[in-house]
Structure 1
């Protein structure tokens, strides 16, 4: 009830300002102000204001958002724990094949940085990777005659 009164007063005040603006022969500005002034009245008439007021001022709604947040947090934590468990099992060599609820080998570990086609298990030592990078740079420089 109070929200309807406030929105109606806002619309009336906005339309009054639009009328004064039109009296000064600024019709485009008056039309724009009138358009903005009619928004609160339209929201009241459609019932959106009551819905928002119920959403904001009911404690049960906030408890519902809290429950949804807790649910999301539990999903995130269990997913992170699953990834950590699969990664630890792969490091120790305990994963031999993908079971019913497990990820396939290599799915839990992110790809290594560097060349796009290379994963952490491939390649060799860091010196070989650094040598590959420098050989690519040397090839580019030679191509440009530097």
Structure 2
């Protein structure tokens, strides 16, 4: 009941300000002010205000919001612990660090693709025999040896 009275007073004040604005020949601004001032009365008439007040002043609703917040915090904590421990990915990260520290498995494996399609500055194409590895399967053998196969 009190909220309906407050909303009606807000609407009346807003319509009064809209009338003064229209008196000053600012009709576009007066129309916007009138539109905003009619919103509280519309909310009271549709029952939204009663629903909001019943939600705000019930302790069970606030307890529900508290439980939802607790649930969100627990989800974030569990994700943080999972990332910190590296569950499911700790070994892979250690292996990646070891590989990065030791260098590439076959550093010359991509050498033929670096300059094979472009001629050199002198007009001659680089010889593929110099940059190609002696054995085509040397990089595969290195990978297999690394994994113990």
Match of 1:35 in 2: 35
Q: TM-score when scaled to structure 1?
A: 0.57
Kindly state the Cα deviation for residue 77 of structure 1 after the two structures are TM-superposed: 3.0
Q: For 2:91 and 2:45, locate their aligned partners in 1 and report how far apart those are by CA, in whole Å.
A: 55
Change (3 A) 1:120 1:39: farther
- Deviation track 1:26-62 (CA, whole Å, cap 9, x = no partner) reads 2112111101111111221222222222222211111
Kindly state the Cα deviation for residue 9 of structure 1 after the two structures are TM-superposed: 0.9
Larger Rg: 2
- Deviation track 1:53-107 (CA, whole Å, cap 9, x = no partner) reads 22222111111111112222233333444444555xxxxxxxxxxxxxxx4xx2x
- Structure 2 matches for 1:6-21, cutoff 5 A? 6-21=6-21
Match of 2:100 in 1: 123
Q: For 1:110 and 1:36, locate their aligned partners in 2 and report how far apart those are by CA, in whole Å.
A: 59
> What number of residue pairs does the alignment pair up?
103
SS of equivalent to 1:41? helix
Instruction: Specify which structure has the higher proportion of helix.
Output: 2
Change (3 A) 1:123 1:8: same
Q: Which runs of 5+ in 1 are unaligned?
A: 88-102, 113-117, 130-146
Q: TM-score when scaled to structure 2?
A: 0.56
Q: Which runs of 5+ in 2 are unaligned?
A: 105-149
Change (3 A) 1:28 1:121: same
Match of 2:117 in 1: none
